[in-house]
A and B are shown apart, each in its own frame.
Chain A
Amino acid sequence: MSAVNDMNQAQAVESVLLEAVNLALHYEMEHDESVVLLGEDVGTNGGVFRATSGLKEKFGFKRVMDTPLAEALISGMAVGMATQGLKPIAEIQFMGFIFPAFEHLFCHAARMRNRTRGRMSCPMVLRAPYGGGIHAPEHHSESTEALIAHTPGIRVVIPSSPARAYGLLLAAIRDPDPVVFLEPKRIYRGSKQTINNNGQALPLDTCFTLRQGTDVTLISWGACIADTLEAADKLAEKGVSAEVIDVATIKPLDMRTMLTSVVNTGRCVIVHEAARSFGVGAEIAAQISEKCFLNLLAPVQRVTGFDTHMPYFKNEHYYLPNSEDIVAAVDKCFREA
């Protein structure tokens, strides 16, 4: 990982998603003195995934703080710091541990601007590795983005590639309101990309179209994007042209991009790892049915995890959606047309 630290001064860096996060943190901490880091093991240890590696050495213990094992403390401190002029980036070590942090996130961070009629805002970022597929024990594979998305006042952002992780994290840090930045840990060390370390942020609140197509719209985010792209390839071999959209910002949803796509294709499949019922897919499906009703050639399909907790690692692959499941869902769309 030290290679990345040396290279963070360089412009173009080949990085995996984890290294892209580290690059973005380095960049922003260097250019904005109000940015501070806090969390468990983020300082001396550099983070259990090495996401914050090198930051304490570079910026000192006053800006990179190792907290006690207390998530409520982490989010509470972040709220306090944020309202008083700092830009805290709090790390929750695994999304499974985020529940005690919800108190301050939902009751205060999400409401600060509303409560103070705009006098105070809460420019904090809560980062957490999220999602399953790494053979981990209980509490280490959560994807409860729907819980956070349902709460007004908080942005939820989920990158799916190193380049988007870099750009979106920078945007999240610079945003004046609370952002929960969920990093799909299954692809932390997935494929590498060349990142231009120029501090350029990507826009929040917009989807990204990864592939253009005319027959079906595939909507997904996070680690499932890789499976969705694989499914799109398989569908192309069968003569079906799939459009792939990376939602990226889960809340607020960029429905415009998704609706435009479904108007053109008439078919939609939403893919997410999180449990099926009451998931983000349900919200997207409801909005599509509402606004594209006249253009739909088949009901909106969802390919999701099951309504159970993530199973232990031998059964993980049953739980996680894969490209075959997605292709089967697309076939369903065509049968019902």
Chain B
Amino acid sequence: MKYFKLPDLGEGLSEAEIVEWHVKVGDTVKEDQLMVSVETAKAIVEVPSPQSGVICTLFAEPGDVVHIGEPLVEYEGEQDDSGTVVGDLSLSAKQESKDDFIVGSAHSQNNQSVIKATPSVRALAKRLEVDLSHIKPSGEDGRITTNDVEKAARLNFDKGQSESLKGVRKVMAKNMAASHAQVVPVTLHDDADVHGWFTKGNPTQDITMRLVHAIKQACVAEPSMNVWFDGEHLTRRLLTQIDLGIAVDTEQGLFVPVLRDIGQRSLDNLREGLNALRGAVKSRKIPPQEMQGATITLSNFGTLAGKYANPVVLPPQVTIVGAGGIRDEVVAFQGQAVVHPILPLSVTFDHRAVTGGEAARFLSVMLEDLTKASVEN
């Protein structure tokens, strides 16, 4: 029930006499509609309705004296008395409102380092198409100066725009830097004489799968090459399963999908798996999980060019095998100088976790396996 009380009529008047009602019970009134005329000591005052609504009760008859603040009219409705003499306090329909607050400032959610530059420097950078996040500030409080922006613009003009690394390239830059900072790499180079592959009647050998097989055999013989090493806590995890990361080169950059459990799968199955992974990489549909968790890596760069290398060990792995291109070379074989197809091999290992002996034995098993004419599926 919403009451309308006689409002303050001003001039120190405390009461008024009802002269004439302009509405009756049951009427629907609009806001501002003239409702009642009252007479004060000084004048007749027209009182409008403060709101729209339906009149429910009239509290005084013509001739009655009503004091300021006494109810004149009651409207139908469910609102409580807002208790005001002057003005109209709206009653909110909202009930319980959630109001969590933090005293003082919230934790900063912005993890990017803050770029400090005056608005004029920012405007200059915008005009010269210079990205402020690429500039090393030279100002005393770490701010970027006009000079910095102009130099960067000149460099862009002379040498070409610098672009931020994105995606796979960015990841590669970070991973390689991290590896360099932690790993102690040592590489053993050797050659596998694979003339046995090309003996008459021998089926064509799948080079990658021969390498996979050789790695499998070598890991079985030297399990310490298939581990995860934590340099910070100095722990070593001997892994029962061999998950081989295979480096794949694409236009976007280097991807390393993982061929899982090479120890238990047939070579045909692994070839299918590798093709599927390559397809997924090419179509950019490969999920990130497929590129995580490798225990040892193969970089078969020989398909492009190159002989020996020092490929980068990716922590927490401790080994990476690099295979160069098979080429005909003149070699000494059984006391004769002959021309044989030779597969150059490099094995880089993290010397924090692996000894030279372990690596050498690993390499020797690989070589032995690779020289075989063929291997079981």
A residues with CB within 8 A of B = 1, 14, 16, 48-50, 94, 134-137, 140, 161, 163-164, 185-194, 202-203, 206-210, 212-214, 243, 246, 254, 256-257, 260-261, 263-265, 293-297, 299
Contacts and interface: CB of A to CB of B under 8 A. Distances in A.
B106 A206 contact: no
B88 A254 contact: no
A263 B83 CA distance: 45
B287 interface: no
B110 interface: yes
B304 interface: no
Contact of B84 (A49, A243, A264, A296): A49
Interface of B: 50, 82-92, 94-97, 99-110, 114, 116-119, 122, 141, 143
Given A137-B86, A163-B99, A191 B105 contact: no
Contacts of A265: 110
Contacts of A263: 114
Contact of A295 (B86, B105, B109, B114): B114
Most A CB within 10 A of own CB, among B92, B100, B105, B110: B105
Nearest to B32: A314
Contacts of A214: 109-110
B118 A293 contact: yes
Given A209-B104, A297-B122, A192 B86 contact: no
B105 A136 contact: no
A193 B89 contact: no
B52 to A, nearest CB: 13
A50 B83 contact: yes
A205 to B, nearest CB: 10
B101 A194 contact: no
Contacts of A213: 109
B116 A294 contact: yes
B104 A185 contact: no
Nearest to B92: A190
28 contacts: A16-B92, A48-B85, A49-B83, A49-B89, A50-B83, A135-B88, A136-B86, A161-B97, A161-B101, A185-B87, A185-B89, A189-B82, A190-B94, A191-B92, A191-B94, A192-B95, A194-B96, A209-B101, A210-B99, A210-B100, A210-B102, A212-B102, A213-B109, A254-B104, A256-B104, A257-B105, A260-B105, A261-B105
A136 B87 contact: yes
B89 A189 contact: yes
Q: What are the 4 closest A-B residue pairs judged by CB atoms, nearest first?
A: A136-B87, A134-B87, A191-B97, A294-B116
A256 B83 contact: no
Contacts, number: 113
A247 B88 CA distance: 27
Contacts of B122: 297
Contacts of B92: 16, 187, 189-191
Given A135-B50, A140-B86, A294-B143, 19 more contacts: A14-B96, A48-B83, A48-B84, A48-B85, A161-B101, A185-B87, A189-B89, A190-B94, A193-B96, A194-B96, A206-B103, A206-B104, A208-B104, A209-B101, A257-B104, A261-B105, A264-B110, A294-B117, A294-B118
Contact of B83 (A1, A164, A261, A295): A1
A210 B50 contact: no
A59 to B, nearest CB: 21
A297 B94 CA distance: 37
A48 B96 CA distance: 25
Nearest to B98: A193
Contacts of A299: 119
Nearest to A141: B87
Contact of A246 (B101, B118, B143): B101
A11 B40 CA distance: 48
A254 B125 CA distance: 33
B142 to A, nearest CB: 9
Nearest to A46: B83
Contacts of A254: 104
Contact of A135 (B87, B95, B101, B114): B87
A49 B82 CA distance: 8
Given A135-B87, A294-B116, A208 B103 contact: yes
Contacts of A161: 97, 99, 101
B153 to A, nearest CB: 20
A183 to B, nearest CB: 12
B102 A208 contact: yes
A16 B95 CA distance: 9
Nearest to A215: B110
Contacts of B100: 210
Contacts of A193: 96-97, 99
B106 A212 contact: yes
A34 B48 CA distance: 45
A243 B87 CA distance: 33
B94 A295 contact: no
Contacts of A212: 102, 106-107, 109
A189 B94 CA distance: 10
Contact of B96 (A49, A188, A191): A191
Nearest to A241: B109
Contacts of B109: 212-214, 264
A187 B82 CA distance: 12
B162 to A, nearest CB: 22
Contacts of B118: 293-294
B117 A209 contact: no
Nearest to B80: A189
B116 A209 contact: no
Contacts of B114: 263-264, 295
Contacts of A189: 82, 89-92
A246 B96 CA distance: 20
B33 to A, nearest CB: 15
Contacts of A137: 86-87
Contacts of B101: 161, 164, 208-210, 246
A191 B95 contact: yes
Given A189-B91, A293-B118, A243 B103 contact: no
